[in-house]
Structure 1
Amino acid sequence: MLIVLAGFTAFGGLVALLAGAHGLRQTRRIGEAGLRAWALVKPAPPGADRPLLQFETVDGRVLEIPSPVPLEPGTRAELSYAPEDPRDVVLLGREPTAVDRWFVAAGAAVLTLGLALLVAGF
């Protein structure tokens, strides 16, 4: 029974670690290789807690998307967006990486616990 618990624990830790690593990789990829634009920060629509970002892509499309981080309406923010999906943005200088780093750390800790339980079970 301990081996099954250890396996599930290790698997859960691995999933959390990989999710955090993927988030960090995506943020870095879009920040470095994405296309840059300036966005106007518009007020949040009724019932939403985040303001909207309005920006123009290099092909002339004007997009309005929810901001990934809280911002003051009426200001401007520089962003980088993925050319294949302009709705996937990173606000330069305001990258929210704390949650992804937490997932990596917690996943590594839970994975280590699962492996220790696995070794103890044998």
Structure 2
Amino acid sequence: MVVLAAFTTLGGLVALLAGAYGLQQTRRITEAGEVAEALVKAVQQGADRPTLQFETADGRVMEVVSPVPPSRRRPLPAGERVRIAYDSDDPREIVLLGGERRGLDWSFVAAGACLVIVGMALAMSG
């Protein structure tokens, strides 16, 4: 029973930390990052997400895989322009403005917290 409690608690901590990290990254990039307009390019053969092409403030042209999951209700159509925020230190880190994944990250935090509580309850009962 103690081993089950330990694995449950550890899994919960991992999920909780992953969600918290995602929320922190999204907040950091949207608040302190540079804003740019990106062109949605067609999905490449064998890929499941389109690439976004944009120019950084210092003139570099970047192409990054869209952070929007393919299961989104309305996929990003090729040729459309979208607003993004990017980390000026690492322009490969982007957030699609208006398409942030805060709900998913909060779900990880909540599920992780629940698993930690269940794991602790199992440890105390066993």
**Identity in percent:** 60
Q: Cα deviation per residue 1:13-43 (whole Å; 9 max; x = unaligned)?
A: 1111111111111111111111111111111
Q: 2:117 aligns with which of 97, 112, 115?
A: 112
User: How many Å apart are 1:6 and its aligned residue?
Assistant: 1.3
May I ask how many residue pairs the two structures share in their alignment? 120
1:57 aligns with 2:56: yes
TM superposition score normalised by structure 1: 0.92
Stretches (4+) displaced over 6 A: none
Q: Once superposed, what is the RMSD of the aligned Cα atoms? A: 1.1
The 5 Å alignment of 1:39-50 reads 39-50=38-49
Aligned counterpart, 1:82: 87
Name the aligned partner's letter for residue 64 of structure 2: I
1:5 aligns with 2:4: yes
Name the aligned partner's letter for residue 54 of structure 1: Q
Aligned counterpart, 1:14: 13
User: How many Å apart are 1:83 and its aligned residue?
Assistant: 1.1
Q: Which runs of 5+ in 1 are unaligned?
A: none
> Secondary structure, in 3 states, of the residue corresponding to 1:90?
strand
Q: Which runs of 5+ in 2 are unaligned?
A: 69-74
User: How many Å apart are 1:106 and its aligned residue?
Assistant: 1.1
- Rounded to whole Å, the distance in 2 between the matches of 1:39 and 1:71 is 11
Larger Rg: 1
Q: 2:103 aligns with which of 98, 101, 122?
A: 98
TM superposition score normalised by structure 2: 0.89
- Rounded to whole Å, the distance in 2 between the matches of 1:111 and 1:8 is 10
User: How many Å apart are 1:62 and its aligned residue?
Assistant: 0.3
Q: Decide which structure has greater strand share.
A: 1
1:34 aligns with 2:12: no
